[in-house]
Amino acid sequence: MGESTSRLQALDLLRFPLAVAIVAEHTFMPSGIRILGEASGWGDYPFFAELCRWFDALVRGNSVPIFFFISGYVFFLRAEMTRATYLRKFKSRIRTLLVPYLVWNTLAVLLLLFTLHSPFSRYLAQESRFTPSWPGFLSCYWAYDGSLAGIEAEGLYPLDISLWFLRDLMVVVLSTPLLHFVLKRARHYAVLALGILWLLEPFYASCFAVNRLGFLTAFFFFSWGACLSVCRKDVLEEFGRFSKLSVAGYFLLGAACVLAGQDAPDAEALLKKLNILAGLLFACNASSWLVGRGFCKASPFLSSASFFVYVAHPLIVGKVLKLLFVAFRPATDGAVLAVHLLSMALVTGALLGVFYLLRRHAPCLLALLAGRK
């Protein structure tokens, strides 16, 4: 296997595990679950609650920054960035980013309207009612404020919550001509400046109300990946220099996050960001090690299906979990854990099955939903 092929294999190998990790993020909710108007926390399940704390420290929030990094690296990979190249890439991103973004948010709106006018409405986390308005409808496509369902929401994410990645990525892609100009001249200094701003964001965001929509995360990690491509660096070779340090740092920083959550909550946000940085290096090095030693290789089917799983799962993951809780009524730590794992397996398996059927029998529809066949 050539060096270039091995590098792309290692990056492709990451796609599906990262998508599954995000399904897990939306399944294992640390705040508990609300069913039939009653909130259930994890106070009666100390083992499961502790497991959620470790999950938050080691997994939650780590996947999307890696996706931004890979997107930036691939965007500039082996490309001479001329005007024609930019136009070609922009047109391609309309098909692969904008169209799925609009389609899935529209499906999310339709599903919300169906839920509000069906017996399933009693399973919603809050008492909701259909309150139509153009601002509420349009907010579903950028930062949903909850008004369409007559509730209050944070107003940070589109209605299909996972699409905040596509939203921010589209903003960054539109900025790539300027970004490329800066990276060609400032190189790693520009990335370092963005990284410091991102790392220290917990200390100034509340004072200045910045980074509300998370664009700083997108710009930093996309720029990091882009800088390596612009400078013709091999990402796996660069990160491989820190392979042992990334393993130790990832797990030690995760443990520090767990301890800080109890004794030093102000430091927890900074430690989590450091864990995300170490997690990026750890994930790339682990993938490179597995591919380089022939233990596994990227599955074309799973790599292709990862985007579909990522964008589709928020529409069903909460509903499946609640139905399983109603059906099984778990009353022990082990039972609660089993229901969560079963929910993850059902959602991921069902979406892989739908992707397979669409690819085989309706490739044009799949191209619309996933931006690719």
- 313-346 pLDDT tens trace: 999 998 899 889 889 988 899 999 999 999 999 9
pLDDT at 86 over 60: yes
Residues of the chain above pLDDT 70, percent: 91
- 139-149 pLDDT tens trace: 999 988 878 87
More confident residue, 197 or 263: 197
Q: Using alpha carbons only, what angle is made at residue 115 by residues 111 and 116, rounded to the nearest 5 degrees?
A: 120
pLDDT at 79 over 80: no
At residue 373, the pLDDT reads 60
Please compute the mean of the pLDDT values over residues 42-65 and round it to a whole number.
Answer: 92
pLDDT at 26 over 50: yes
What is the C-alpha separation between 273 and 278, in angstroms, rounded? 9
pLDDT at 211 over 50: no
- Contacts of 278 by beta carbon, 8 Å cutoff, 6+ apart: 246, 249, 250, 253
Please compute the mean of the pLDDT values over residues 53-75 and round it to a whole number.
Answer: 95
Q: What are the tokens at 359?
A: 């690819």
Q: What are the tokens at 251?
A: 């797990």
At residue 148, the pLDDT reads 80
Q: What are the tokens at 295?
A: 């233990």
- pTM for the model: 0.92
**Mean pLDDT, rounded, of the chain:** 88
Helix 333-361 vs helix 363-370: crossing angle, to nearest 10: 120
At residue 126, the pLDDT reads 59
pLDDT at 174 over 80: yes
Helix (H, G, I), strand (E, B) or coil at 33: strand
Torsion of CA 281, 283, 285, 286, to 10 degrees: 150
Task: Report in angstroms the alpha-carbon separations of 237 from 6, 25, 192, 257.
Answer: 11, 30, 19, 29
At residue 207, the pLDDT reads 61
- Contacts of 104 by beta carbon, 8 Å cutoff, 6+ apart: 160, 163, 311, 312, 315, 369
**Do 315 and 162 form a contact (C-beta atoms < 8 A)?**
no
What is the C-alpha separation between 188 and 195, in angstroms, rounded? 10
Q: What are the tokens at 84?
A: 């024609």
Helix (H, G, I), strand (E, B) or coil at 177: helix
**Do 98 and 170 form a contact (C-beta atoms < 8 A)?**
yes
Give the DSSP per-residue string, 108-123.
Answer: HHHHHHHHHTSGGGGG
Among 4-8, 10-14, 153-157, 310-314, the range of highest mean pLDDT: 310-314
At residue 120, the pLDDT reads 63
pLDDT at 3 over 60: no
More confident residue, 87 or 153: 87
What is the C-alpha separation between 20 and 14, in angstroms, rounded? 10
**Do 370 and 311 form a contact (C-beta atoms < 8 A)?**
yes
Q: Is 137 left (phi over 0), alpha (psi -120 to 50) or beta?
A: alpha
At residue 210, the pLDDT reads 47
Among 24-38, 89-103, 113-127, 190-204, the range of highest mean pLDDT: 89-103
At residue 151, the pLDDT reads 74
Helix H, strand E, coil C: the string for 191-214 is HHHHHHHHHCHHHHHHHHCCCCCC
Q: Which residue do the tokens 């083992």 mark?
A: 47
At residue 224, the pLDDT reads 96
At residue 307, the pLDDT reads 96
**Do 148 and 130 form a contact (C-beta atoms < 8 A)?**
yes
Least confident of 78-87, 119-128, 147-156, 192-201: 119-128
Please compute the mean of the pLDDT values over residues 71-97 and round it to a whole number.
Answer: 89
Helices (H), 241-299: 243-263, 265-292
Please compute the mean of the pLDDT values over residues 95-117 and round it to a whole number.
Answer: 91
Among 81-90, 103-112, 293-302, the range of highest mean pLDDT: 103-112
At residue 366, the pLDDT reads 95
β-pair type (33-35, 38-40): antiparallel
- 271-329 pLDDT tens trace: 999 999 999 999 999 999 998 887 888 899 999 999 999 999 999 998 899 889 889 98
What is the C-alpha separation between 325 and 331, in angstroms, rounded? 10
What is the C-alpha separation between 317 and 342, in angstroms, rounded? 11
More confident residue, 44 or 20: 20
